[in-house]
Structure 1
Amino acid sequence: MTMTAAGAQEFATALQALTDNVAHVLLGKRRVIRLALTTMLAGGHLLLEDAPGTGKTSLARAIAASVQGSHSRIQFTPDLLPTDVTGVSVYDQSTGSFTFQPGPVLASIVLADEINRASPKTQSALLEVMEEGHVTVDGTVHTVGDPFMVIATQNPVEQAGTYRLPEAQLDRFLMKTRIGYPDTESAIAVLEGSALRDRAAEIGPVMSAEEVVALGQAASDVHADRRILAYVNALVETTRSDPRTVLGSSMRGGIALVRAGKVWAAGQGRHYLLPDDVKDLALVVLAHRLVMDPDAEFAGATPDAVVEDALALVPAPSADEE
């Protein structure tokens, strides 16, 4: 069923309320907040590559507080074990049976801090739950709640003692972006409220988890014309044929771009997808999925440049064509 114009307006109002609530915690970063909420409503996960102290934990906690969801934080270290993430079965002597002790990944909003510091084995423990929505411990499947989103962080400055995320795991993040430092006015506002050690504790929920799930389901009904779908596919194919890449975007990237684009469109009060929605999100959805040719990378080529060039090369469908 296609979303109606009235439904799109209701969606935009609800998303605005969520954005405003989180913006009380993360000052001056409304676009980043909107990207994070779009990721959640599209059923995806977010990768933040940023320096320490930019508000990554605050963002995760504020989103969890806004949607009546649980929040957990996992500090990834080289000695972290997969069971420290997923949970473990513990033998109970009084009953003579094993009891599952859930790990921190079984929460609504999970902050995986400095994910690239853990070993590949522990990193891979996130793969099943990110893609399938459940973990398997001792042959028993444990389902996570809904909504569910992993916000993982990487420090781009310090590389010693880190393990690069494999392409298969990067591909499971719907978006990759950065928060960055606040502008001058926002920074001064943060300093004025420096006595508040926990801004996220100052806000309350604006909607239930069930309402968030309903919003995500409603966004999937946004109309996407076949010409726009062809445009998305052409962008993805262009990243594959670019001589600067060894591996372009997967089909998962194209699907993610459509899903996120529908949420982005509904958030602006529209019940249909426009090429501008695709353009707004192409960098954050596609760039991290590209594997660059080493020689091209040494010469200064970047994934962002490949996606930007694809946007410039591929003609977007006009309003008349739609």
Structure 2
Amino acid sequence: MTEAKPKVTVYDLTQQVPKDVTLSGLSAPKFDGVNYFRQPLGQSSSLRFKVPGSRFVQLEYQLYSPESAVSGQVQLDGQVIGQATFPAGKFVTNSIGGGFLDEGEHQFSINYSCVPACQQPPSQYWTKLTVIEDARVKAREDTGLGTERLWLNAPGSELRIQGAGPVTFDGVNYRRPIEASAFTLSWPAHKQALSAGFTLHSNQPFRVTARVGDTVLSRKRGDARTAVQPTLNLLEHPQAQSVTVQVECLTDGQPCASLYFPSVNVLSPTPVTQNLTLALPAALLLLLGAAGLLGFPSLRR
């Protein structure tokens, strides 16, 4: 059976705004001789839209100011999901960030600030809203034997992460930039975790160390051609509520990795789990074996 492909809808808001999207706080389109742009009319702008069901959405934009560095802080439904600073007088990479949403009305907003203060409003280029309908994305997945897999990159996920940036869609899969020297993946206290898995990619040599508390669960190295894909055995840590993963970039020391497919296998809340104490080792071996045979990347979360 062929896996359903995501349905991707892109709204280019630089010149036109469709009737089902409301853009406020930005000027009418202007032209610099090469590209169109809009300018903030105040300290913030907003983008309101509706989704008919569970969707992934992301906002893309680029800011430019000739004399001052300008920053944009992006919020999705009032929650900060990212911030980018664009240096004075330079056109740099677009900022992209998003999140998973349930059906209903939602809003992106951008708060602007300049250092030193802007003498004139900055210019905002390449403003795009992308909406993705993806049947592959689920917050939980039944894995049998009284267990289930929780996925981070899904609407309503029970997993949480610190130390990583906003999720984006790379055209195939969902990724998060690692923005700190370590990230922490956590799950609810009422869930007993059996294992955790993820994939890290980088364009340079890097080292990954995963821990529960002070206990090292895995140490691996990767590079531009070799991803790091540990599967962490948590059976000996039934009280654990998180794993901490240190990512060391060995060329320049700056954050360099991208995170794909973060998930945690847990006992499912069904009566059968009450009789699984003796079966847990076998269940974990099957889960680990399946992960090794299938490969977490093939799951494309």
More strand by share: 2
TM-score (norm 1): 0.24
Q: Which has the higher helix share?
A: 1
Q: Which protein is bigger by CA-based radius of gyration?
A: 2
> Could you state the TM-score of these two structures normalised by the residue count of structure 2?
0.25
Higher relative contact order (CA 8 A, sep 6+): 1
